Structure 1
Amino acid sequence: MRILKLGMVGGGEGAFIGAVHRIAARLDGCWQLDAGCLSSTPDKAKRSADALGLARSYKSYEDMAAQESVLEGGIDAVSIVTPNHMHLPVARAFLKAGIHVICDKPLTTDLAQAEDFANECAGYDAQFFLTHNYSASPLIRQAKSMVADGTLGDLRLVHAEYLQDWLSRAPDADNVQAAWRTDPARTGGAGAIGDIGTHAYHLATFVAGQNASHLAADLSSFVDGRQVDDNANILLRFASGARGSIFASQVATGCENGLKLRIHGTKGGLSWAQERPNEMIFTPIGGVEQRLTRAGAGATDSANDVSRIPAGHPEGYLEAFGTLYREIALHLLGVEVAHDVPTLKDGVAGMRFIDACQRSSRDNAEWCAL
């Protein structure tokens, strides 16, 4: 398979998610990182590029898009790992230049802007992908296939929660990661719901195979002076009749990265936790609880397709990210993959979720259509 050439915007010194994307991109040997505009500060961008040994470093993403699009051997795709408010302008520049985009979530900071962008993208040849990495975990793929083949019966309850505690207190002034995540100008006012709530919602709807039709949300800001939500309690209604909930918090003391999913139908239920990604509990109605393991006895083809190592060896966050990068590469090379990777429609769905949460909470948790 031809190795694709990758660029990156953002993700320089002090960034967390940029390093994750770089590891994921090279995990399966599908991508080679060649170019970047790793910071909006030129000196920092240059230092970051030199540290990574990049062939080409740019002072602006506009220059990078323009020059890479005409360069022989230029990049095939760009990875966008900037704060949220920069996702769309960067994506637009590269899509216009004919370069594919792999973008961190959420899509942007405003629903209307996201919908306009989706219409605009219909006129581009280049493609847009969104990195909801948890959807590529092997047992999540198995859960989705079990729902789709009727193992759980008709769905009744869909619950996801994502609990952290790292923003339980006002962060130090030099905490760059906290600074932009709690800045309404760079997040569109979406704190926990944008940062981790969109992951929980995408995971729930990905496995359930359906988006929610209505929600009721109570958003809170517990830390004094904070201008974005740091806690969200959300009820969901699905057109199928199923009911659900999302609990997303960055002030849940004692929780590190507690993403969990529980789905219950007329024939059985499933439970999975990201901090124990190699096991999932399945309980058929009236039956004995079963512990399903990644690549173990009872693993489905959809799970085995994205498992790299034998059962019993831990495989998790980085590998799931790597699976998305591999599947995006295969898709761009015209090779069929078993699951659709997250795209622009998933980004717009995430923005509809954020917008409905904010509207509902402003109206004292009134039910809102998505």
Structure 2
Amino acid sequence: MARKLRMGMVGGGRGAFIGGVHRIAAAIDQEIELVCGAFSSDPEKSRLSGEDFYLPPNRVYGSYEDMILKEKELPEGERMDFISIVTPNHVHFGPAKLALQHGFHVVCDKPLAFNVDEAEQLVRLVEETGLVFALTHNYTGYPMVKQAKAMVRDGKLGKIRKIVVEYPQGWLADKKEDTDNKQASWRSDPAKSGMGGAMGDIGTHAENLAEYVTGLKITEVCADLTSYVEGRRLDDDANILLHFEEGAKGVLHCSQIAVGEENGLNIRVWGETGGLEWHQEEPNTLIYKRHEQPAIIYRTGVGELDPAAVAATRIPPAGHPEGYLEAFANIYKNFAATVRAKMDGREPTAIESDFPTVRDGLRGMRFVEVVVENSRRSEKWSRV
């Protein structure tokens, strides 16, 4: 297929943070072009946003329903190929469901939906239609995260014993939702964010990263969630003990009241013969630790790395940082390659299909639900 994939966007208009991230990431590899959008629930704001992106007025819509239905009526050579959903959590399910029902592939910002029931409906729709669905757990896109996954898979650590994953932030240490901070406002509102605060916002990133790197599913949790800021309706701090498949155990900590922290996502994994350590704020470095031997430093773009890590690396020579936007772009790149494979009538390769899917999204929703419920109970452990 000798053309770019055509993207329609839901949300992400003027003043939005994550919409700009998605547009930049989708454009990095020149595989995708933005052709239309419903950029706001306010039709006038959507129109003005379309002007910002130099889109023709007839491809800028006042609602996602209008966009999906009218794009479906266009000739196949003009209509969008997929939608990218970059709205607050409570507006993920509607456009995703309608797009799948009308034959459009989907990229959706995490979480997958507002609750588990909605998530399960989307899983069924994806499986019934055979369409491609990517969820932007973007931290899995880093080259050194893919290298870590490959090393665990190839037995470099031996049998996994312990996983510690953390995501501390400090931006909600005071009650920003009472100001004009739009990001704080919807994230702290149960009607828009869902049942989880910090747990649903960043805790699911930590959960997804732990399962992605180790290949092990979480089976049980023992959770303690807290709302430290007076009057806040959702948790802003979480501490969770984890049981994984095959006997591994772990700890997940996430917080948005960790004063002074920025985006400190990190993971440490220990097996019988070795360990790994990776920090999102130092993304080009992966530390491989061995028993009573010097640690080995792996660097993005240096030496012999796993093919998945190589495929996720763009910038030669080594030493130029590849960060958040590039990791996001790797989700879009692999999604686009998988869509192209389907259009060309072939099966995508393992590297092309290496991105979070609708089923990862369902696991994340179930994880948040179980964690929140467990934190309210007196019993110690709950099964995921």
Identify whether the pair has TM-score above 0.5, normalized to the shorter chain.
Answer: yes
Q: The residue matched to 1:258 in structure 2 has which SS?
A: coil
Query: What is the match of residue 241 of structure 1?
Result: 247
Asked if 1:62 is matched to 2:75, the reply is no
Stretches of 4+ aligned residues off by more than 2 angstroms: 119-127, 297-302
Matches within 5 A, 1:64-213: 64-72=67-75, 73-171=78-176, 172-213=178-219
Query: What is the match of residue 381 of structure 2?
Result: 367
Find the aligned partners of 2:54 and 2:102 in 1 and give their Cα distance.
Answer: 25
Alpha-carbon deviation of 1:163? 0.8
Contact residue 189 and residue 227 of structure 1 kept, 8 A: no
Alpha-carbon deviation of 1:112? 2.5
Alpha-carbon deviation of 1:239? 2.3
Give me the TM-score of the superposition, normalised by structure 1.
Answer: 0.97
Asked if 1:257 is matched to 2:258, the reply is no
Contact residue 217 and residue 365 of structure 1 kept, 8 A: no
Alpha-carbon deviation of 1:365? 6.4
Alpha-carbon deviation of 1:294? 0.7
Find the aligned partners of 2:55 and 2:260 in 1 and give their Cα distance.
Answer: 39
Alpha-carbon deviation of 1:211? 1.1
Matches within 5 A, 1:227-238: 227-238=233-244
Query: What is the match of residue 336 of structure 1?
Result: 349
Q: The residue matched to 2:368 in structure 1 has which SS?
A: helix
Find the aligned partners of 2:329 and 2:122 in 1 and give their Cα distance.
Answer: 27
Amino acid in the other structure paired with 1:17: I
Contact residue 215 and residue 367 of structure 1 kept, 8 A: yes
Aligned pairs, number: 370
Find the aligned partners of 2:290 and 2:223 in 1 and give their Cα distance.
Answer: 31
Amino acid in the other structure paired with 2:233: Q
Find the aligned partners of 2:308 and 2:53 in 1 and give their Cα distance.
Answer: 35
Alpha-carbon deviation of 1:76? 0.3
Q: The residue matched to 1:75 in structure 2 has which SS?
A: coil
Alpha-carbon deviation of 1:71? 0.8
Q: The residue matched to 1:54 in structure 2 has which SS?
A: coil
Contact residue 65 and residue 93 of structure 1 kept, 8 A: yes
Find the aligned partners of 1:125 and 1:199 in 2 and give their Cα distance.
Answer: 26
Contact residue 95 and residue 127 of structure 1 kept, 8 A: no
Amino acid in the other structure paired with 1:12: G
Query: What is the match of residue 273 of structure 2?
Result: 267
Find the aligned partners of 1:362 and 1:88 in 2 and give their Cα distance.
Answer: 27
Contact residue 10 and residue 87 of structure 2 kept, 8 A: yes
Alpha-carbon deviation of 1:65? 0.5
Alpha-carbon deviation of 1:222? 0.6
Query: What is the match of residue 19 of structure 1?
Result: 20
Query: What is the match of residue 34 of structure 1?
Result: 35
Contact residue 96 and residue 122 of structure 2 kept, 8 A: no
Contact residue 218 and residue 364 of structure 1 kept, 8 A: no
Find the aligned partners of 1:173 and 1:9 in 2 and give their Cα distance.
Answer: 26
Contact residue 287 and residue 295 of structure 2 kept, 8 A: yes
| Identical positions, percent | 46
Find the aligned partners of 1:258 and 1:29 in 2 and give their Cα distance.
Answer: 30
Amino acid in the other structure paired with 1:188: G
Asked if 1:308 is matched to 2:311, the reply is no
Asked if 1:226 is matched to 2:226, the reply is no
Find the aligned partners of 1:116 and 1:7 in 2 and give their Cα distance.
Answer: 22
